[in-house]
Amino acid sequence: MRRILKAVLTAIWFMALTLPVMGIKLNTLDQTVQWRFDRILWLGAGVFALAVIWDWCFSRKARGLPLLRLPKGWGAGLRNLSGRPHLKTGGLAILTLFMLVMPLTSSFYQTNIMISALLYVMLALGLNIVVGLAGQLVLGYVAFYAVGAYAYGLLYQFLGWGFWACLPVGGILAVLFGLALGFPVLRLRGDYLAIVTLGFGEIVRLALQNWTSLTGGPRGISDIPRPGFFGLEMDINASTTYVYYLVLAAVVITIIMISRLKNSRVGLALQALREDEIACEAMGIDITRVKLSAFALGSCWAGFAGVIFAAKTTYINPSSFTFMESAMILSMVVLGGMGSIAGVVIAAMILILAPEYLRAFSEYRMLIFGAIMVIMMIFRPQGLISGERRRYRISALHGAHNGGRA
């Protein structure tokens, strides 16, 4: 009963709070006011329901219970399923087949959506190295993406270079930018680092926008060629399919590289850095090198993704590289689970594909992104799938318990 009362009070509070912005519609031309109390009432009802759920979630969290409990037997069943290796390979095979056949069976439009979803997967995985593994909150990630895209655009425009020549150049340039940002910010940590990288991202965007003689200013660069395939002539459909396979290959390579990286010496050093910078330094890890390699690795993927993006859209301008873009990529990493590859891939897919297919809520996309970031931080900071570290079993210890069959 107390909960209900509390929820009612919360609902009333929010109705009063949102009264001006939600409830008043001004018509400045003919000087009339339109009161929209229906909206306020709906909002009140919504807040009431949310407040009840919110309170319930908190009481579960306070008692240390999981938010959702699977029905009896399901938990064990799921664990059983995930334990079976051929089920996993079978699932992967189906997924691979689907991804391979997808552009051949679906429309041009859907292939295009899938390409941009895959590009975001690549970006999110790249940011995951910096934020998820190394724990360095970078808010200007989109700057490196812009560097890659403009590298291709400008090299084509002024020197006539093709896609394949620009792909490595875009990556290298992005790495150089990453290092240029990384060096000065070595001493910074946490929120200061976040703000400096945000400023860096905005400076790159503003420079692209104002340096009209080089970058074309707000008009951007158009007529960038799609990637070639040994000089083969392709129409727009064929070349979209081609770009699709290109991105798919890039994503697969990214996933392989990052999962190899994660348990490598560098990867473990990155994770040590995330857990505790001072302890990490005390263990004899060269912090400067580790931080710089995190920046270099992260920005490299953004550079590649940028080149592919320019080739896909054939038109780039500074408004594709705003802070909102960085925030969106960050929310993919946060939602997926920092440091978890599978989680980030799934989150990126959901966040890009869901608004495309559910047109009704595509308007609310950014609103929901923002809410997700807050809610995830409060109730599940580890994300959908928490990034598990590899566990090392020491067989001598285990041997004592189960007779050496570790």
Partner 1 sequence: MDIQFFIELFFGGLTRGSIYALIALGYTLVYGIIELINFAHGEIYMLGAFTALLVAGVLGVYGFPVGGILIVAALAAVIWCAAYGYTLEKVAYKPLRGAPRLSPLISAIGMSIFLQNYVLLAQTSDFVPFPRLLPEMEFLEYVNYVMGPSDFLILLVSTLAMVSLSLFIRYTRMGKAMRATAQNRKMALLLGINADRIISLTFIIGSGLAALGGVLIASHMGQVNFGIGFLAGLKAFTAAVLGGIGSIPGAMVGGLVLGLAESFTTGYFSGNYEDILAFGILILILIFRPDGILGKAKVQKV
Please say which residue, 172 or 366, places its beta carbon nearer to partner 1.
366
Please say which residue, 374 or 396, places its beta carbon nearer to partner 1.
374
Please say which residue, 180 or 238, places its beta carbon nearer to partner 1.
180
Residue 87: CB minimum distance to partner 1, A: 35
For helices 323-336 and 190-210, the axis angle rounded to 10 degrees is 140
Size of the site for partner 1 (CB under 8 A): 58
Residues 357-376 contacting partner 1, CB under 8 A: 363-364, 366-367, 369-374
Is there a contact between 53 and 6 (Cβ–Cβ < 8 Å)? no
Is there a contact between 157 and 221 (Cβ–Cβ < 8 Å)? yes
Distance CA(351)–CA(142), nearest Å, equals 17
351 part of the interface to partner 1, by CB under 8 A:
no
Is there a contact between 343 and 386 (Cβ–Cβ < 8 Å)? yes
331 part of the interface to partner 1, by CB under 8 A:
yes
Q: Beta-strand (E) ranges in 164-323? A: none
Residue 173: CB minimum distance to partner 1, A: 20
105 part of the interface to partner 1, by CB under 8 A:
no
For residue 388, give the nearest of 294, 259, 266, 252 by alpha carbon: 259
Query: Of the listed pieces 31-39, 166-174, 242-250, 261-269, which binds partner 1 according to CB under 8 A?
Result: 31-39
Contacts 24+ apart (CB under 8 A), 272-277: 273/134, 273/135, 273/136, 274/133, 274/134, 274/135, 274/339, 275/135, 277/189
Distance CA(174)–CA(156), nearest Å, equals 17
Question: CB neighbours (10 Å) of residue 359?
Answer: 8
Please say which residue, 257 or 373, places its beta carbon nearer to partner 1.
373
Please say which residue, 118 or 330, places its beta carbon nearer to partner 1.
330
Sole binder of partner 1 in the list 67, 70, 93, 378 (CB under 8 A) = 378
Distance CA(329)–CA(129), nearest Å, equals 12
Is there a contact between 36 and 23 (Cβ–Cβ < 8 Å)? yes
Sole binder of partner 1 in the list 307, 308, 332, 334 (CB under 8 A) = 334
Query: Of the listed pieces 9-17, 80-88, 230-238, 284-292, which binds partner 1 according to CB under 8 A?
Result: 9-17
Amino acid at 5: L
Please say which residue, 63 or 401, places its beta carbon nearer to partner 1.
63
Please say which residue, 66 or 403, places its beta carbon nearer to partner 1.
66
Sole binder of partner 1 in the list 8, 99, 179, 196 (CB under 8 A) = 196
Please say which residue, 308 or 376, places its beta carbon nearer to partner 1.
376
49 part of the interface to partner 1, by CB under 8 A:
no
Residue 268: CB minimum distance to partner 1, A: 20
Residue 59: CB minimum distance to partner 1, A: 13
Residues 127-186 contacting partner 1, CB under 8 A: 135, 137, 139, 184-185
Is there a contact between 325 and 145 (Cβ–Cβ < 8 Å)? yes
Distance CA(182)–CA(166), nearest Å, equals 23
Please say which residue, 374 or 397, places its beta carbon nearer to partner 1.
374
Is there a contact between 332 and 295 (Cβ–Cβ < 8 Å)? no
283 part of the interface to partner 1, by CB under 8 A:
no
Distance CA(118)–CA(250), nearest Å, equals 9
For residue 366, give the nearest of 327, 317, 321 by alpha carbon: 327
Residues 230-259 contacting partner 1, CB under 8 A: none
Please say which residue, 207 or 350, places its beta carbon nearer to partner 1.
207
Is there a contact between 318 and 360 (Cβ–Cβ < 8 Å)? no
Query: Of the listed pieces 76-84, 189-197, 261-269, 289-297, which binds partner 1 according to CB under 8 A?
Result: 189-197
Sole binder of partner 1 in the list 63, 79, 187, 265 (CB under 8 A) = 187
Please say which residue, 63 or 187, places its beta carbon nearer to partner 1.
187
Measured CA to CA in angstroms, residue 136 lies from 23, 129, 187, 266, 306 at distances of 41, 9, 12, 15, 22
Residue ranges that bind partner 1, judged by CB under 8 A: 13-14, 16-18, 20-22, 24-26, 28, 31-33, 39, 58, 135, 137, 139, 184-185, 187-188, 190-192, 194-196, 198-200, 202-203, 206-207, 210, 278, 323-324, 327, 330-331, 334, 363-364, 366-367, 369-374, 377-378, 381
